[in-house]
Amino acid sequence: MAETRDQVASPELTKPRHVVRKFQARPQHEGVGAVVRRSIGRFELKYFDPFLALDEFSVTAPAGFPDHPHRGFETVTYMLEVLILHKLYISLCVSLSLSKIKMYIRAVTHEDFEGHKGTIKAGDLQWMTAGRGIVHSEMPAGPGTSKGLQLWVNLSSANKMIEPRYQEIQGKDIASTSKNGIAVRVIAGRSMGLQSPVYTRTPTMYLDFTLKPSAHLRQPVPPAWNAFVYTLEGEGVFGVERSGPVGPHHLLLLGQGDGLEVWNKSAKPVRFVLIGGEPLGEPVAQLGPFVMNTEEEIDRTVDDFQYYTNGFEKAEHWRSEAMVGFQV
C-alpha cells in the first residue's frame, strides 16, 4: 500500500509556509499570582482565527487560577515536562543529601461545578469543551512550579452552546514516535503515521516536536488552515533554511502553503509546538472568558452567569475546595 503524506517522516511539500510575523511572549501576571507568557490573545494579536489565546503558564502554590467561568470555546491544557530543571533539581538534592531526594509532582488540579475533578501531570493533556458553560478552578497540585501551555480554541456558532465535555489523556497515552532525529507527540490531528484520539469540534492540529541537532522536518498542514509555531526550548530555523534561528518563547505566524519545514542547525535539541486550525470566519464578541458572536449574546451570557441560568445553574451553590476557607 502506498504511504500517504501523513505517514512518511519527511513528505515533499509543494509550497512550504514562511514565517510572516514573529512575536516574543514576555511574562505577565494573570489569575492570582500566576505568570503567563501570552502570545495570541494579547493586544497586538487579539485573535488568530480560530485561536483566542495561547499562554505558556508557570504557577507555584499558592498562586493559580481559582473559580472562574467559561462559555463558547475550548481550553486545551498541556503540561510540559521541565527536564532540564528536573535534572538540576535532582543533582542538587544528591549533592545535599541522598536521603532528601523527593520528587515534586508538577501538576495542576482542576475541579468544576459538576463535580468533575482531576490532576494533570507533566506530559498530560486536558481538552475541555466549555460549550454553554463551565465554572472551574485550576490550581497547582503540590510544591514546585507547574508549567504548561493553555490554548483557547473558538467554537462555531453552532457549537457554542453544546454540553460541556472533557477529553483527558495521560502523557503515556499520547501518541508519540521518533524517526530521523525527529520526535513527535500528537496532541491533535495526525503526524508521522500517528493519529490523536482527541475529537476537535473546530478542526485543529496540535503537534509537539523535538528535533535533534541536524534534523530536518517537513510537516504537512492543510492549506486552508491558519497555523503557527510556539517555541519552547533550544533554537530552530523555521520556514526558510537561510533565515536566522529562533530561540524559546516566540510565536511564529505562518503564511500560506501546504506545510512547514524546520531545521535544527544548533548543537542542542529544539522543541516547539505546531498548531493549526480551520478558520471559522465568524464575528467574535469577547468578554474575558465568555466568547460569543454578538454583543447581545455576551449580554445574555453575563445574565446567565449572574442569575445561574442556561448552563450556569450549578454555579449557585458551588465553591472549589481551593476556595473553601477564603469565603467570607
Total of chain residues touching ligand FJE, rule CB under 6 A: 13
Task: Write phi, then psi, for 100 (nearest 5 degrees).
Answer: -90, 5
Q: C-beta of 54: minimal distance to ligand FJE in Å?
A: 9
Nearest alpha-carbon partner for 41 in 276, 219, 322, 288: 288
216 known ligand binder:
no
Residue 199 and residue 188: Cα distance in Å, rounded? 8
Residue 108 makes contact with ligand FJE by CB under 6 A: yes
Residue number, 17 or 147, with CB nearest to ligand FJE = 147
70 known ligand binder:
yes
Residue number, 148 or 257, with CB nearest to ligand FJE = 148
Left, alpha or beta for 232 (phi > 0: left; psi -120 to 50: alpha)? Answer: alpha
Residue 25 and residue 246: Cα distance in Å, rounded? 13
Residue 289 makes contact with ligand FJE by CB under 6 A: yes
C-alpha cell at 172: 503515556
Say whether 142 sits in a helix, a strand or coil.
coil
Residue 62 preceded by cis peptide, ω within 30: yes
Residue 168 makes contact with ligand FJE by CB under 6 A: no
Residue 320 makes contact with ligand FJE by CB under 6 A: no
Nearest alpha-carbon partner for 128 in 225, 228, 41, 201: 201
68 known ligand binder:
yes
The Cα diameter of the chain in Å comes to 67
Q: C-beta of 67: minimal distance to ligand FJE in Å?
A: 10
Interacting residue with ligand FJE among 100, 288, 325, 327 (CB under 6 A): 288
The DSSP letter of residue 64 is: B
> According to DSSP H, which parts of the chain are helical?
83-96, 295-307
249 known ligand binder:
no
Q: C-beta of 31: minimal distance to ligand FJE in Å?
A: 4
Residue number, 76 or 182, with CB nearest to ligand FJE = 76
Residues 139-158 that bind ligand FJE (CB under 6 A): 150
Residue 93 and residue 58: Cα distance in Å, rounded? 22
Within 13 Å of residue 255, how many CA atoms lie on the same side as its CB? 10
Q: C-beta of 108: minimal distance to ligand FJE in Å?
A: 5
Q: Is the Cα dihedral 165, 171, 175, 179 positive or negative?
A: positive
Q: Which stretch binds ligand FJE (CB under 6 A): 29-37, 230-238, 303-311, 315-323?
A: 29-37
Q: C-beta of 203: minimal distance to ligand FJE in Å?
A: 23
Residue 111 and residue 135: Cα distance in Å, rounded? 9
Binding mask 46-85 for ligand FJE (x = CB under 6 A): ---------x-x-------x--x--------x--------
Residue number, 76 or 262, with CB nearest to ligand FJE = 76
Residues 232-261 that bind ligand FJE (CB under 6 A): none
Residue 31 makes contact with ligand FJE by CB under 6 A: yes
8 Å CB contact between 209 and 200 = no
Give the residues lining the site for ligand FJE (CB under 6 A). Answer: 30-31, 36, 55, 57, 65, 68, 77, 108, 138, 150, 288-289
Which residues carry a binding-site annotation for Fe cation?
68, 70, 136, 138
